[in-house]
Amino acid sequence: MKEKKIYVNTFGCQQNEADSETLLAIAESKGYKETDRAEDADLILFNTCAVREHAELKALSTTGALKHLKAKNPNLKIGLCGCMVQQEHRAEDIRTKYPYVDFVFGTNKISSFGDILDRVEHSKKRLFLVESYEKNPGKICEGLPVKRKYPYRAYVSVMYGCNNFCTYCVVPYVRGRERSREKESVLEEVRGLVQNGCKEITLLGQNVNSYGKDLAAPVSFSRLLEEICKIPGDFVVKFMTSHPKDATEELFDTIWKNPKCERHFHLPLQAGSNEILKKMNRKYSFEEYYALVQSLRRRMPEIAITTDIIVGFPGESEEDFQRTLNAMEKCRFDGIFSFNYSPRKGTPAAKLPDRIPDEVLKDRMARLLRLQESIQTEKNREMVGRTLRALCEGESKTDPRYLSARSDSGRLIHFPKPEAAPSAGDYVAVKITEARSIMLFGEVVL
């Protein structure tokens, strides 16, 4: 019997990557083997993203390129899943404009992928299996298989969905309301990973700080983190994403007291203007946000703080934007993820007037990036001469003479490959010799 092959292309965030690891494992249980070439596949699956229009257009464009593969091989099965197709209008787009796509399923159907594969293999009709979260709230299924991409690094979802309803964000509509896993289920998964040699564990949730509030016996995210840090083994625990309104002093204390917690905190600001933050429904002021930054750095002066910033939210004046630049100067972030505002159909912000012209968006983004590059370069230069503990990630993607590693604060480090080269997943001590805006260079200390 011919071996069946599956090709999976993942767009978007770490949660999508984690979902794809489960989808791959389920496919393998059905007799499929992963291939990294779409041309060799019997089944192609795209796991899509909806956070920004660019991500959707990229997924649709890449889907369009599959038409010629289907023409060459009529038996090829093509499927789309993930956040983009959870939206009714996008699922309808696929139905009418992409007739060579055989099946579509939403984010609340991932645990049913095995059954979906059976239906796809035996059905001559196209399958559209998308239900709103109002109809299908999406239950948490424990014990699903996972095919980890790396043996030394793992994603562990602790909760799903979001209750915040930021006015620009589609996540509550495509991922549903907040649903937390039971604490013991999370701990059991982490114990298994550590016992198998995993060195870096990233806890995932649309808002991890809200973890446990919906459980029959409520438990805080801080408590979950404490319990994970008690697990014996040499590993680092990371998490994302945090919402400032739920970031607590208790959580900061837990990170400070536990050396297994990564010295990095991702705390999305989105804007420095209180008026814009209010329009975004972020539920905090910049002053409240900055107090959190100060609180973290009081406990851990070495902690790296990164953030998200949206440029050009509807109605953003030059004065509003300048407040964002001032916020960056004040907070001195170690890194930012910046995005032009992208209207998402069905969100309140998509209906707001006063859209920012493209030329203004381009100018503001350029100014923001120049400022951040200056701050980041200066902060990275403070690392020169220091020896940092880092987790080796293997060969550099740009130069095979170098290896790459991540420090305990999440900084990317490149260093010349020594004679006795460490393997991916090994801890190394690296003395920093050079700093640039987005990376450090150093030498292994033996």
Q: Tell whether 364 and 288 lie within a shared domain.
A: yes
Provide the terminal-to-terminal Cα distance of the chain, rounded to the nearest Å. 52
Confidence of residue 151 (pLDDT cuts 50, 70, 90): very high
Q: Mean pLDDT over residues 228-254, rounded?
A: 96
**How many helices (H) does the chain have, and how many strands (E)?**
14, 19
Q: Tell whether 215 and 153 lie within a shared domain.
A: yes
Examine residue 142 and state whether it is found in any structural domain, yes or no. Answer: no
Confidence of residue 213 (pLDDT cuts 50, 70, 90): very high
Q: Tell whether 282 and 237 lie within a shared domain.
A: no
Q: What is the pLDDT of residue 139?
A: 81
Kindly report the number of other CB atoms within 10 A of residue 183's CB atom: 18
Closest to 173 in 3D by CA, of 147, 140, 135: 135
Q: Please report, rounded to a whole number, the percentage of residues in the chain having pLDDT higher than 90.
A: 91
Examine residue 139 and state whether it is found in any structural domain, yes or no. Answer: no
Tokens standing for residue 268: 């999305």
Q: Mean pLDDT over residues 296-318, rounded?
A: 97
Token look-up 């406990």 returns 299
Q: Tell whether 155 and 257 lie within a shared domain.
A: yes
Q: Is 119's pLDDT higher than 70?
A: yes
CATH number of the domain bearing residue 22: 3.40.50.12160
Q: Mean pLDDT over residues 15-43, rounded?
A: 96
Q: Mean pLDDT over residues 53-80, rounded?
A: 94
Strands 402-407 and 200-204: unpaired
Q: What is the pLDDT of residue 203?
A: 98
Q: Is 1's pLDDT higher than 70?
A: no
Q: How far is CA 418 from CA 393, 433, 444, in A?
A: 14, 16, 7
CATH number of the domain bearing residue 429: 2.40.50.140
pLDDT digits (tens, 9 = 90+) for 127-139: 999 998 988 887 8
Greater model confidence, 304 or 136:
304
Q: What is the pLDDT of residue 311?
A: 98
Examine residue 56 and state whether it is found in any structural domain, yes or no. Answer: yes
Q: Tell whether 357 and 440 lie within a shared domain.
A: no
Q: Which of 262, 279, 309 corresponds to the end of one domain?
A: 262
pLDDT digits (tens, 9 = 90+) for 346-405: 999 999 999 999 999 999 999 999 999 999 999 999 999 999 999 999 999 888 899 999
Are 192 and 143 in contact, with CB atoms under 8 Å apart? no
Are 265 and 237 in contact, with CB atoms under 8 Å apart? no
User: Rounded distance, CA 429 to CA 233, Å?
Assistant: 19
Q: Would you state the torsion angle of the CA atoms of residues 228, 229, 230, 231, taken in this order, to the nearest 10 degrees? A: 60
Examine residue 89 and state whether it is found in any structural domain, yes or no. Answer: yes
Q: Is 19's pLDDT higher than 90?
A: yes
Q: Tell whether 249 and 306 lie within a shared domain.
A: no
User: Rounded distance, CA 307 to CA 333, Å?
Assistant: 7
Examine residue 270 and state whether it is found in any structural domain, yes or no. Answer: yes
CATH number of the domain bearing residue 163: 3.30.750.210
Examine residue 357 and state whether it is found in any structural domain, yes or no. Answer: yes
Provide the residue range defining the domain that includes 226: 148-262
Longest CA pairwise span in the chain (Å): 67
Q: Tell whether 158 and 208 lie within a shared domain.
A: yes
Confidence of residue 44 (pLDDT cuts 50, 70, 90): very high
Q: How far is CA 94 from CA 53, 78, 82, 202, in A?
A: 16, 11, 13, 33
pLDDT digits (tens, 9 = 90+) for 281-291: 999 999 999 99
Q: Tell whether 395 and 427 lie within a shared domain.
A: yes
Number of domains in the chain: 4
User: Rounded distance, CA 296 to CA 307, Å?
Assistant: 14
Q: Tell whether 291 and 333 lie within a shared domain.
A: yes
> Residue 303 CA to chain centroid, in angstroms?
20
